[in-house]
Amino acid sequence: MSTATLTSLAMLKIKIDKGGDYLDYLNPFVLQVLADHRPAPVTTGAVKQYLLSDFGLEIPEQTTHIILKRLARKHLLTKKEGVYHITSELPDPGIAARKAEAERHIRAIIEGLIEYSKEGPNPLASHDDAVRALMSFLSEFDISCLRAYLRGTTIPSISQKRQQDVVLVGQYVLHLQQTSPERFQSFQILVQGHMLANALLCPDLANAPKSYDGVVFFLDTPLLLRWLGLEGKIKKDAIEGLVRLVRKLGGSFACFTHTRDELRSVIQGAANHLEDQNGHGEIVMEARRQGATRSDFLLLSEKIEDKLKELQVEVRPTPSYIKEFQIDESAFEGVLNEEVSYLNPRAKEYDINSVRCIYVLRKGKTPLTLEKAGAVLVTSNAGFAKAAYRYGQQYEELREVSAVITDVSLSNLAWLKAPMEAQGLPITEVLAISYAALEPSTTMWEKFLAELEKLEKQGNITARDHQILRSSPLAQEELMRLTLGEDSALNDQMVTDLLKRVTNEIKKEEIQKLHFEQNAHQQTKEELEHERETNKNIRERLYARCEQKAKRYARVAEIVVSLVIVIGSIGGFVSGSIVGLDLSYEDQLMGLILNVACVAMTILALFNILFGFTVRFLREWLEKKLLAWLLKREETVIGVTLNENHDSFL
């Protein structure tokens, strides 16, 4: 299988980075086939065939015809009697340089995919197998919701498309995201090129309004569950990116009251299965990964109205049955049964009701573009969207814009309106699809459980092994790695290998968890020790400062007392010498001061005789009291004990 298609898609992405409208992207490709083949006359059929053979792009003749008209206006072609002819030397479209750059991206992706597949049970045998796998994955990004998209993708039909290829590439994408940013970027270029190529399926997109003003997008229950984060962060990021872009383009989001009721019912049902070892499904598995409890789910179900309001999703009443706009529910159910296998009949009833509601809201109108649709139901179920499209084609007048589109289609169409405003949107969709590819189908999971039952009865696995493989999210991931979603790969040996892998991973996780806890404990001890040391240094500095102040103040007091003693001694001598003399008022005042000093000295002398009181003792006592007071004042300010023994000083 040729890499021409993949290379062309990457070239389209490189072209959009340089600007231009949708149809300008195709000009160089058409010019190149005209220069290489110089058909005479130039017909849309011939150009269409050359685009497919040379570049691997299957473009509708309507689009090709518009490109030829544009070239004629530039006088590169002439039209005589309704037929185009080449009239002059055609300019070099510059394909060679862009092709070399694009081939570099594609070569890196293909080589990486082949190498990655060698780690799994079914390695890709050839270059062609890798190309087929990549194209199978890209075909998931179709836009089959509008009449003009006759095939939904520019990728040529893939013979023997295998789901295991989609699973393998999905695993490869998630691997690149974690380990190889450069190759991950190359894959992103490829996907964005494919989304741009989808615009070529319908030339009307170039003239479509640039906004979704007045369009209400009604979300179905699975998308609301994703938006609430119940199916993991990757899927939540994808829907949030889509919502942001559509709102920027003027669109709004809502859900019907019956959808809200279904949402609440699903959450309550998941709550009842969380602790059941037979519980299965992405919501239950994600809850186990996150450690969510039954109480968490029940609380969420009770507050679902508030959560929807928080997400700015308007809950609109389910429209009444109006005969004039009523669909043939039996006919639609028949089409739906051909596209979707419902395990829960109630879910099918909700879906039929949602489609009926969209027809009622459109009131018999047949919009020609999505921008004029007024109301559209958005789903993650491609089979449901296809059934609604088929029903509109066969039984109703909705042959232009279906009542139901997929979130992938809406992402593609919205991104084409503003690719530079939401450059990350395509890759979030890729990650969401890659992640979804790792979820086993209900049929496969039931076969897996039956195999476990058989092996336990035979004594090949224990009851504990059985429980681990039923309830561990790791088991689901490893199951898809070992089987790539193929039922035929389920056998005794596969389950034994799976058990070994899961057990080893659980042990590894437990060891890592133990190491993490030990490291966290050691880090906490070091942080506490550091904090303790820091506080100790602070306390020591504050204590030293208070001690310094206390000594200084006590020393001042000591000096004052010493001066009093000296003055008292002098006063006693002087007062005895001047007794009986006629002194002035000032001299009498001085004498009084000297007498007081003398009395103070006498009292201190008595204390010294009776209690051994000295000036030095006074200084030391006062120093302790001052230190205790200063410490207490600092403690009140900073809230830390500086000295547990300071109360004994008081």
Q: What are phi and psi of 351, to 5 degrees?
A: -65, -45
Judged against a pLDDT cut of 60, whether residue 574 lies above it is answered with no
pLDDT tens, residue by residue, 370-394: 888 899 999 988 889 989 988 888 7
The DSSP output letter for 614 is -
Partnered with residue 77 across adjacent β-strands are 86
Judged against a pLDDT cut of 90, whether residue 426 lies above it is answered with no
**Cα of 249 vs its chain's centroid, Å:** 22
In this structure, what token pair is assigned to residue 178? 């974690």
12 burial (CB, 10 Å; 0-12 / 13-18 / 19+) is: buried
Q: Which stretch of 224-238, 351-365, 484-498, 545-559 has the lowest confidence by average pLDDT?
A: 484-498
Return the percentage of the chain with pLDDT > 90, whole number: 14
pLDDT tens, residue by residue, 289-346: 888 888 899 999 999 999 999 999 999 999 998 888 888 889 999 999 998 888 888 9
Q: Which of 348, 233, 219 is nearest to 286 (CA)?
A: 233
In this structure, what token pair is assigned to residue 354? 């949602």
Quick one: pLDDT at residue 349?
94
Q: What is the identity of the amino acid at 542?
A: L
pLDDT tens, residue by residue, 183-199: 887 777 777 777 666 66
In this prediction, residue 255 has a pLDDT band, given cuts at 50, 70 and 90, of very high
Judged against a pLDDT cut of 80, whether residue 487 lies above it is answered with no
Average pLDDT over residues 41-53: 85
Judged against a pLDDT cut of 80, whether residue 603 lies above it is answered with no
Judged against a pLDDT cut of 60, whether residue 492 lies above it is answered with yes
DSSP, collapsed to helix, strand or coil, labels residue 149 as coil
Partnered with residue 218 across adjacent β-strands are 254, 377
Q: Which stretch of 54-68, 451-465, 483-497, 548-562 has the lowest confidence by average pLDDT?
A: 483-497
Torsion (CA) 407, 148, 132, 385 in degrees, nearest 10: 40
Q: Which residues fall within 8 angstroms of residue 480, CB to CB, at 6 or more apart?
A: 167, 171, 437, 438, 439, 440
The DSSP output letter for 460 is S
How many angstroms separate the CA atoms of 629 and 47, rounded?
98
How many angstroms separate the CA atoms of 164 and 120, rounded?
12
Q: Which residues fall within 8 angstroms of residue 31, CB to CB, at 6 or more apart?
A: 71, 76, 90, 91, 93
Judged against a pLDDT cut of 90, whether residue 48 lies above it is answered with no
The DSSP output letter for 461 is S
Quick one: pLDDT at residue 147?
40
Quick one: pLDDT at residue 53?
82
Quick one: pLDDT at residue 585?
47
Highest mean pLDDT among 217-226, 537-546, 603-612: 217-226
Torsion (CA) 479, 482, 485, 491 in degrees, nearest 10: -80
Average pLDDT over residues 541-546: 82
Highest mean pLDDT among 214-223, 231-240, 574-583: 214-223
Q: Which of 182, 305, 283, 296 is nearest to 236 (CA)?
A: 283
pLDDT tens, residue by residue, 608-626: 655 555 667 777 788 888 8
Beta strands 375-379; 404-406: pairing state:
parallel
Q: Which residues fall within 8 angstroms of residue 240, CB to CB, at 6 or more apart?
A: 227
What crossing angle do the helices spanning 44-55 and 27-37 adopt, rounded to 10°? Answer: 100
Quick one: pLDDT at residue 456?
77
Instruction: Tell me which of 424 and 76 has the higher pLDDT.
Output: 76
Instruction: Tell me which of 78 and 516 has the higher pLDDT.
Output: 78
Q: End-to-end alpha-carbon separation of the chain, Å? A: 95
Judged against a pLDDT cut of 50, whether residue 148 lies above it is answered with no
Secondary-structure percent of the chain, ordered helix, strand, coil, rounded to 5: 70, 5, 25
In this prediction, residue 410 has a pLDDT band, given cuts at 50, 70 and 90, of confident
Partnered with residue 405 across adjacent β-strands are 378
Judged against a pLDDT cut of 70, whether residue 412 lies above it is answered with yes
Judged against a pLDDT cut of 50, whether residue 648 lies above it is answered with no
Q: Which of 61, 461, 436 is nearest to 231 (CA)?
A: 436
Q: 3-class secondary structure for 323-385?
A: HHHCCCHHHHHHHHHHHCCCCCHHHHHHHHHHHHHHHHHHCCCCCCCHHHCCEEEEECCHHHH
Q: Which of 167, 128, 186, 160 is nearest to 9 (CA)?
A: 186
Q: Which of 142, 140, 209, 146 is nearest to 376 (CA)?
A: 146
How many angstroms separate the CA atoms of 526 and 519, rounded?
10
Quick one: pLDDT at residue 497?
75
Q: Is 374 in contact with 215 (CB distance < 8 Å)?
A: yes
Quick one: pLDDT at residue 7?
65
Tokens 């993490």 correspond to what residue? 516
Beta strands 77-80; 83-86: pairing state:
antiparallel
pTM: predicted TM-score of the whole model, two decimal places: 0.62
Quick one: pLDDT at residue 18?
47
Q: Which stretch of 105-119, 366-380, 425-439, 476-490 has the lowest confidence by average pLDDT?
A: 425-439
How many angstroms separate the CA atoms of 130 and 145, rounded?
29
Q: Which of 188, 205, 189 is nearest to 60 (CA)?
A: 205
